[in-house]
Amino acid sequence: MDTARPDAVVLDGGLPGMDGLDAIPVIVSRSPQARILAMTGPQTPSPDELKERGAHDCVPIESGVGELLKRLEDLFPELPPTRPIQSQPASFRSSVDEILSLLVHEIQAPLSVIEGFSLSLQLAVERGDDDAILETSQGMRRAGASLRALIRSFAEVGAMESGILNLNLREAQVVQLVNLTVEDLAMLAASHTIVIDAGDDFVAEVDSIRIRQILTNLITNAVKFSPRRSEIAIKIRREEASAQISVADQGPGIPSHSQPELFQKFSRLGATGSGTGLGLYLSRGIARAHNGDLTCDSAAGMGATFTLSVPLKQETSASER
């Protein structure tokens, strides 16, 4: 031990061959400038006795690392303070809270789908309807896959906020994606009439799970905020190089002055009941990560139309092959 400088010695079991009480005077004799912090437990001497032997301070062993670091800072006031490991910046805690809130919000839809299909499966089994059993089990597998993908995706929320989101891009039929989503939501949307207006199907290169996540959010919002037995109109169109998928409801609409808040975190525009107001925020982020967008056209008393746009797959010309 270098006695030319002060050293910190933390004792929790003494030196080999002796207990902590016997070790303290040995350390003091060998290194008078050492500063000794003794960690105490039920079987160790009292703090007063340890200090009489030469310990500068004591800390109970169950106090944890944060308290240990604080006591070491007290022993070495000339050194820069050490931040306790449990003290994270407010921005870090806020980010974690937001990610958890987003996760809790977004898993509700696939969980509800699974619950709906499980009821359908039970009824199909009771009827002995093999076709219905196969159909509902396939729907449950799709919802389970969506749920797993959602949970994985929340590890990337920070990346989304930085404008970078990893996507599993594959060719997909746009109309088929819409039809599958509507089929999966049939139980939840049974109180409404969903009308799909689509022309020919066309191909986009998208992350199908995440596009269906957006569609699920839009349709469930339309169900939630429009009268029972009203119509939800889904229109699919091709406009130049993008697919436009609009979901229109017959709800109370959104005043123009409130629309800028729609896609902000935690914005619920005065809505009551369950939900954290994060679905549209995440949906727009996913759309923009596809180089698309999510917009709203609405007016008070006129319902709301949300339009998702995603780029279509570009055809490769013969000269590029």
Q: What is the pLDDT of residues 97-109, one digit of tens each?
A: 666 665 666 676 7
88 falls within a domain: no
Q: Write the pLDDT tens digit of every residue in 2-59.
A: 334 444 444 444 444 445 566 677 667 766 777 777 767 666 677 788 788 888 887 7
Q: Quick one: 268 and 164 in the same domain?
A: yes
Strand (E) positions, 263-303?
A: 293-298
| pLDDT of 223 above 50 | yes
Q: Is residue 94 part of a domain?
A: no
- Answer yes or no: are the C-beta atoms of 84 and 66 closer than 8 Å: yes
Contact 14, 22 (CB under 8 A): yes
Asked if residue 194 and residue 295 are part of one domain, the reply reads yes
Residue 1 lies in a domain: no
The model's pLDDT over 261-286, given as tens digits with 9 standing for 90+, comes to: 888 865 666 554 444 456 788 889 89
Same domain, 33 and 144: no
Pairing of strands 293-298, 304-311: antiparallel
Q: Looking at the structure, do residues 295 and 167 belong to the same domain, yes or no?
A: yes
Q: H-helix or E-strand containing 70? A: helix 65-75
| 81 is a domain residue | no
Q: Would you say residue 29 lies in a domain?
A: yes
Same domain, 56 and 186: no
Q: What is the pLDDT of residue 8?
A: 46
* Residue 126 domain boundaries: 102-311
What pTM was estimated for this model as a whole?
Answer: 0.55
Residues 208 and 65 in one domain: no
pLDDT band at 161 (very low <50, low <70, confident <90, very high): low
CATH of the domain at 58: 3.40.50.2300
- Whether the per-residue pLDDT at 120 is higher than 80: the answer is yes
**Domain-embedded: residue 319:** no
Q: What is the mean pLDDT of residues 191-218?
A: 92
pLDDT band of 148, cuts 50, 70, 90:
confident
When the pLDDT of each residue in the chain is averaged and rounded to a whole number, the result is 76
Say how many domains are in the chain: 2
Query: How many C-beta neighbours within 10 Å does residue 190 have?
Result: 12
Residue 199: pLDDT band (50, 70, 90) is confident
**Are 42 and 127 contained in the same domain?**
no
